[in-house]
């Protein structure tokens, strides 16, 4: 009898010491190497987690029900599984691992940040200098955002870069969450010309709570945490020959900048909205330059060899 009352075998093992390896060894010879590696590691960590915490059937079922509920809530407008990962910091960590470039260059490409669950495909193509505001025109602080997209290594402008941008309305909702907003409000795609420059009008975003009526909200509540994100604007940048960047920029003066519910804030992505006079179309100016890495540079300096190998099953 062990000191805590649990039964141990003669070598002091509380639980079957061969069980985990038996499960890992069940993988057949035709499994892809990356799938084999990931699942073996996952099994090991899951089993260690269960043993270390002496996980009970009831606790395991609670976790399982959260996962099932997240699946049932998810559709093309809501990705609850992703939200669960976000509040646990997993998407931010995977994003860092995937996109980090180990480069000794003085300059660095624009840092990445999580996609989040509110991106929509096929945002409208808009002309440079246009606005993405098609609803809430009279509310919120009108902002003129502008800058240049360059190659991080050469500093040269990138032609044909597409900026896909989206952010919340002043009521803290994305358009697909809110029947009061026109379809595709506060979304747009802009393509740079030879000079790599871009500019468009938007609104100064506001902090908002991530949806907390599902499993992600239950987790936050159980952990005594709030659901708020600091004010931010989302981007996906793509350009011929360059590795795409998924990122967000954050209003430095926003509430929750120090405790984002999904852990996405990085220092290099903090921006300043500057009061802007002399332009009746904007109350604030927001200058920001994006720096892209070519596929070649990304491959050379990538921490994880992510571009080729896929773990698809
Ligand atoms: Fe967002």
Average pLDDT over residues 109-120: 88
Ligand 1 centroid to Cα of residue 104, in Å, is 31
**Residues of the domain holding 284:** 90-301
The pLDDT, as a whole number, for residue 76 is: 78
Q: Is residue 60 assigned to a domain? A: no
39 and 154 share one domain? no
Contact, 222 vs 66, CB < 8 A?
no
Domain endpoint, select from 55, 78, 100: 55
198, containing H or E segment = strand 197-203
- Average pLDDT value for the chain: 90
Domain identity same for 130 and 200: yes
- The position carrying tokens 């994305």 is 174
Domain co-membership, 48 together with 155? no
Task: Look at residue 242 and tell me if it is in a domain.
Answer: yes
Residue 96 sits in the same domain as residue 157: yes
Q: Is 291 helix (H, G, I), strand (E, B) or coil?
A: strand
CA of 248 to the centre of ligand 1 (A): 8
pLDDT in the model for residue 310: 44
pLDDT band at 31 (very low <50, low <70, confident <90, very high): very high
| pLDDT top residue among 206 and 98 | 206
Predicted confidence (pLDDT) at residue 244 exceeds the cutoff of 60: yes
Count of domains in the chain? 2
Q: Which of 13-17, 124-128, 305-309 has the lowest mean pLDDT?
A: 305-309
Query: Quick check: is 112 in a domain?
Result: yes
Q: Residue 142 to residues 132, 170, 216: CA-CA distances in angstroms?
A: 11, 11, 32
Q: How far is the CA of 68 from the centre of ligand 1 (A)?
A: 24
Q: Find the 148 Cα to ligand 1 centroid distance in Å.
A: 23
In a domain, 221, yes or no: yes
Q: How far does the centroid of ligand 1 lie from the alpha carbon of residue 118, in Å?
A: 7
Residue of 150, 230, 129, 134 whose CA lies nearest to 186: 134
- Model confidence band, residue 69 (pLDDT cutoffs 50, 70, 90): very high
232: CA distance to ligand 1 center in Å? 6
pLDDT of residue 237: 96
306 within some domain: no
Distance 97 CA to ligand 1 centre (A): 21
Cβ neighbours of residue 145 closer than 8 Å, sequence gap 6 or more: 199, 200, 201, 202, 233, 286, 287, 288
70 occurs within a structural domain: no
Q: What is the rounded CA–CA span in Å between residue 233 and residue 131? A: 14
């Amino acid at each position: 009898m062990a000191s805590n009352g649990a039964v141990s075998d003669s070598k002091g093992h509380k639980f079957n010491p061969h069980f985990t390896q038996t499960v890992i060894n069940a993988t057949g010879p035709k499994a892809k190497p990356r799938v084999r590696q990931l699942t073996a590691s996952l099994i090991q960590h899951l089993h260690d987690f269960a043993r270390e915490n002496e996980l009970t059937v009831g606790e395991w079922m609670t976790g399982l029900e959260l996962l099932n509920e997240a699946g049932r809530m998810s559709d093309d407008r809501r990705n609850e599984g992703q939200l669960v990962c976000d509040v646990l910091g997993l998407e931010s960590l995977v994003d860092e691992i995937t996109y980090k470039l180990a480069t000794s260059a003085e300059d660095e490409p624009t840092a990445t940040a999580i996609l989040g669950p509110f991106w929509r495909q096929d945002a409208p193509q808009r002309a440079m200098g246009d606005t993405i505001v098609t609803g809430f025109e009279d509310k919120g602080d009108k902002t003129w955002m502008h800058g240049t997209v360059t190659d991080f290594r050469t500093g040269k402008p990138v032609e044909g870069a597409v900026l896909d941008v989206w952010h919340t309305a002043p009521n803290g909702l994305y358009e697909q969450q809110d029947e009061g907003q026109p379809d595709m409000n506060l979304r747009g795609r802009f393509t740079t010309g030879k000079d790599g420059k871009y500019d468009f009008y938007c609104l100064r975003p506001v902090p908002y709570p991530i949806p907390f009526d599902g499993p992600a909200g239950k987790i936050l509540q159980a952990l005594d945490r709030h659901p708020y994100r600091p004010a931010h604007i989302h981007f996906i940048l793509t350009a011929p020959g360059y590795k795409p960047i998924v990122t967000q920029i954050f209003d430095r003066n926003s509430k929750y900048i120090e405790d984002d519910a999904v852990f996405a804030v990085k220092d290099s992505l903090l921006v300043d909205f500057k009061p802007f006079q002399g332009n009746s179309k904007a109350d604030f100016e927001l200058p920001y330059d994006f720096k892209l890495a070519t596929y070649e540079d990304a491959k050379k300096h990538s921490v994880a060899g992510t571009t080729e190998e896929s773990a698809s099953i």
